[in-house]
Amino acid sequence: MGYLSTDKKKITATTLRDMKAAGEKIAQITAYDFTTAKIFDEAGIDSILIGDSASNVMCGNNDTLPITVDEMIYHAKSVAKACNHAFVVCDMPFGSYQVNREEGVRNAIRIMKESGADAVKLEGGTEILDTIRGMLAAGIPVVGHLGLTPQSVHKFGGYGLRAKNEAEAAKLLEDAKALDEAGVCALVLEKVPSQLAKKVSETIKAPTIGIGAGNGTDGQVLVYADAMGMTRGFKPKFLRYFADVNKCMTDGITDYMRAVKDQSFPNEQESY
């Protein structure tokens, strides 16, 4: 464990930079509800992301596009209440910042005000730089997100590896530098070659947090339902299962059903 992981003080945007400077990797995971976030926060996770992956994980949608600002605030509010230690980042959903700077800043302010999150995260590079600048000017910590940007799935036609060729890699590096110079407090790099992610991480001041981006980033993030082995049938190369919650819950619910049916639950001690 690193020096900050054992210190249960609240992690801030400044702590994330200190961790990068100290070479301590940042462990981030998603969560969307109070109970799950509390388990992760008490275990000492550095950061919790209320990803718009809530659209898939919580609502059963095929992609992240349908989730709304109101729904993100609902999830983020529940998570923020659980976190005494972790740095809480709330995704800005599709459509909440792409129209123009004013609308983006207004929605970011709403998310910060109503959810209690510590930062917002947006997908994109120079095309949303002005909007990001507006948020930073309003005092809102912003996390960038480059590489595979799931809100643009229809533009790219899938969830494949990004920045595979030289031109795309150069564009990603330029975007990363521009976001860094604007002052983002961290940058998510999703599904890009590990050499490129390492280069970006060594080039910019802000800590990078990778998912499917190899081991050269300043931290890692995973969707908790995948990492904890809750989901079935989704096993991209970058994913490792750190628990088998699906089996644990299936065993538990099977035992419960059996005990109800055979009337061994509730017993004398469990009754008033």
* Binding site listing for Mg(2+): 52, 91, 123
Pick 45 or 267: Cβ nearer ligand KIV = 45
Pick 140 or 223: Cβ nearer ligand KIV = 223
Which region among 45-53, 105-113, 196-204, 246-254 touches ligand KIV (by CB under 6 A)?
A: 45-53
Choose, by CB under 6 A, the member of 31, 117, 211, 228 that binds ligand KIV: 211
For position 30 contacting ligand KIV by CB under 6 A, the verdict is: yes
For position 117 contacting ligand KIV by CB under 6 A, the verdict is: no
**Options 102, 190, 268, 270, the catalytic residue:** 190
Nearest approach in angstroms of CB 222 to ligand KIV is 8
42 among known catalytic residues: no
Nearest approach in angstroms of CB 139 to ligand KIV is 23
Nearest approach in angstroms of CB 37 to ligand KIV is 14
How far apart (Å, rounded) are the C-alpha atoms in residues 74 and 114? 9
Which region among 46-54, 106-114, 130-138, 163-171 touches ligand KIV (by CB under 6 A)?
A: 46-54
Nearest approach in angstroms of CB 159 to ligand KIV is 11
Q: For binding to ligand KIV (CB under 6 A), which residues are involved?
A: 30, 49, 51-53, 91, 188, 190, 211, 221, 223
Q: Give the catalytic positions in this structure.
A: 190
